[in-house]
Amino acid sequence: MADGALNLTLDDYLSAKIAEKAKAMGVAPETLAADLLRQTLAVEDGFGGRQTDHVSNHDLNEEGRPWDEVRPELLARMKQKLAERT
């Protein structure tokens, strides 16, 4: 593998789906496939220096609240939202 090149063989279904979406977007299928892989890897591992992990947006050292305290509030909010929809 030279210069970071990677050759992949895709099945007919996947190739057709990528080609169809790429055509609709006006990009080359290879460009779309590379972007999809890049996004998938970024979500899984944080590759590319991008933070896509929503957990990282919160301070995990912050003290939480007990479920027994949070549950009634959550249920009340859910009931209120449901009532607003009907």
In a domain, 5, yes or no: no
**Could you list the pLDDT tens digit for every one of the 86 residues in the chain?**
456 778 889 999 999 999 999 999 999 999 999 999 888 877 655 555 554 445 554 555 567 778 888 899 999 999 999 999 87
SS3 of 32, please?
Answer: helix
Question: What is the pLDDT at residue 85?
Answer: 85
Instruction: Give residue 57's domain range.
Output: 12-85
In a domain, 18, yes or no: yes
In a domain, 1, yes or no: no
In a domain, 6, yes or no: no
Which residue shows structure tokens 């912050």? 62
Name the domain count of the chain: 1
In a domain, 25, yes or no: yes
Q: Mind giving me the DSSP string for 38-84?
A: HHHHHHHH-GGG----GGGGS-TTS----HHHHHHHHHHHHHHHHHH
In a domain, 80, yes or no: yes
In a domain, 38, yes or no: yes
Residue pair 28/22 in contact by the 8 Å Cβ criterion? yes
